[in-house]
Structures are given as C-alpha cells and as structure tokens.
Structure 1
Amino acid sequence: MPVEFLTDEQAEAYGAFTEVPTRPELERFFFLDDDDRDLIALRRTDAHRLGMAVQICTVRYIGRFLDEDPLAVPWEAVEYLAGQLGIADASCVKRYPERRRTPYEHAAEIQERFKYRDFTDRRWGREFRGFLYGRAWTHAEGPVALFNHAVTWLRKNRVLLPGVPVLARQVSEARTAAERRLYEAVTRAAHRADPALARRWLSCWWCRRAGGSRSWSGCARRR
C-alpha cells in the first residue's frame, strides 16, 4: 500500500534489506569490534551469539530492528558474522527466535549499550524536526528526496526509524510549512511593492492549492 508520495516498492524497501550488502558494506557495517564482541560474549549458545550479532549489525545498517522477523537478513551477511565468531554452522541461528522474547530482550540491550534513541525522544525529536524543516526551506527538492535525507539523518544520529507512515507524514508537514512560509514571504514583499499585486498573488496561490491553473496568466485570465 503506498504511503502518500511513496510507491509500493519504496514503502516496502523502507527499513528493510532489499539486496545483499556489498563487500565494502559488509566490512563497514557488519564488522564486529571489541564492544560488539563484549556484548555478544555474554550469550551462552552459538544461536544466541550469532542472533545478537545479526541484530547489532541490522540496526547499524538499516536503522531499525526487524521486530517481525529478526532473521530477515541476507544469508551472506549471516555467514560473514558467523565466520568472525568462529561458528562453523551458521544455520544454528534459525533457533534464535524459538523463545519469542529473546530477540526483543536483546534488542533492548543493544539499544541501551550503543545509545540508540527512540524516535519519540523529545530532545532528538526537536533536533530532527529542526533539520527537516530547515532542509525543506533551504532546498528545492521533492518529497522522496527529503524523505531519503530524513532517513540518512536518523541513521547517522542513531535515532531508530519510526513506521513509514509516521516519517512520511512529518516530511509532508515540513514541506507544507516551508511552502506556506515561502508564499507568505513573497506576499509581504509584493504588498510592499504594490498592495493590489499582493492580493492577486495570494489569490493565485490559493487557486493552485485548489487544483486550478498553475500559472499566473491562467489565473489572471479568469478575472
């Protein structure tokens, strides 16, 4: 189901693995450093060790945890992690979600250990909205481009991605606010030059918002 300006394919690709990570991506996002290994080492079984490694690298790569299926990850990535952990049989990870609460408990540990923030966090919510509205005001780009920049900002700042409808709605609101600010600024400038011009400009804008002519001359001919 499309979400506002996103196609079905774009909505489905959001916060998910759409293709196998490249070798450079594996080396960047799926390399287990000492901090990763310290947390993983607390697990008792290979299945749990590998499963936690998958979750650590999943949130690092796509910006969120895969709550519905934590193992919806390309097998190449799983094998790459298994090799680093010295686990000969990567298929043991299939036992990881046998206890349904385990992936959720591990996700909570990962979030706390590596300082991932919830999207609902007030401080980071304000910072994100500031970025989003600032970007919408200063860049003449479409909603999909702004949406992609929003995803990049959230991942960079370790803010967990929200559901796609939530983020799409915030992008739309930011663009609407920027558009309103632009027309108000132009209207004030036009009023200073000629009060009658300002009224025609504002009327033209509302005509466009209502689906009428998208040109000044088109509106003017109907007056």
Structure 2
Amino acid sequence: MEETIVGTDAVQIPKQRGESLLDTAVRYAEERHWDVFPGTWLESVEGVQRCSCGDAVCPSPGAHPARPDWAAQATGSATVARRMWQKQPDASILLPTGRTFDAVSVPETAGFLALARMERMELTLGPVTVTPDRRMEFFVLPGASAKVPELLRKLGWSSSSLDLVVLGEGAYVAAPPTRVGCRGAVQWACRPTAVNRWLPDVEELVSPLAYACGRDR
C-alpha cells in the first residue's frame, strides 16, 4: 500500500508501506542494478529508539554504515543482498554513490522548487529521495562531483556559496524505506520507474538546482 504525502502543490511524495527491508533491498539490486549494503538499525532501549552502533547521540541513528569496510561489502547481487538482510532484517538500506549513480543533495525547500522548474522545463529526472533531515537527493550519472564546480562557475556561482553537495565515490545515500531514528523515514519524491531507468547527466539539472539553492539562501 502507498500513502501519498503532499510536499508542494506540484509534487507528491509516494510513501511505501508494508514492504520489508529485505524485499526492498533485493528489488533495488535486481531491478535497478544498484549496489546495496546493510547499515545500522534501530533498537528499543527502555522504550527509546537507539542506533545499533551504541552511540546514544548518534547523528544518523539506524542509517549509517555498520562496519568500516562497507564499500567492499556493497553488492549488486540480489542473492547476496538477500543473504545479508536475512542475517539482520532490520538493517537500513544504504546505496554507495559513485558507482551506478551520483547524488546531488540540496535543502528540501530548494529541491521542491527545483522539481517544479524541472517539470516546467520538461526535463527527464532520475529518482529523487527526501530525507528526514529535510534534504533532497537527485540521482544522476556518475562523475557529477568532477563536473559540478565548473558548471556552477559558468552559471555565476561558486561551490561554497550554495548548499549543493554532490555525493560521489566514497559516499552513500540511505534508501527508502530506511528510518532515521524518530525523525521518520527516507521517502521517494520521484520513484524509480522504467521511465527514469536511464539517469540524467548532472549538466541537465544543475541550472534549476543552482537557481533554487540561490533562492533558498
């Protein structure tokens, strides 16, 4: 079952319910060919949801790597993914960036503004997530981190002047329906579909994203 949460008049966020983390992780590997790896999970300690890492003030409870060699652990095999989540069914679903995709992270308000502009421009989008930390992450082709500084310069912006972060090699994103402590779950603003299987190049999206981030300052 899906519940739709309205973020703006123009954009709706489908929220997944009823699907296990195991099934979802396997589907990401099988259908999207994304590498996946299990992260930490939430545990109830005296009625309070705490991160399995044991840090009482964990900044990303239940939504960060559980081991230092997570990059080597990540797999694109549905069989291996199923085996990993069978060992820990409550583990968060994390996706390494810099492999099959990079992600451009912007503040949620800027992200919704950019989405509206992209729709008017009839741009082809990839999947987009919304995090409980009020960030939106736009999936683009790998290699974005090397391109964005120069692209922003050509648009009249410096990388340091905008809250626009590219997650590439060595980074990761949390995928729906991963929960981040008591803050809520990561959700899709634009779900993965057959239409957006082929990701856009960051060059196609950087102008509306930069404009929106500039407005959001």
Structure having the higher strand fraction is 2
Same fold judged by TM-score > 0.5? no
Structure having the higher helix fraction is 1
* Higher RCO structure, 1 or 2 (CA under 8 Å, sep 6+): 2
Query: Which TM-score band (shorter chain)?
Result: under 0.3
Q: Which has the larger radius of gyration?
A: 1
TM-score, length of structure 1 as denominator length? 0.22
TM-score, length of structure 2 as denominator length? 0.22
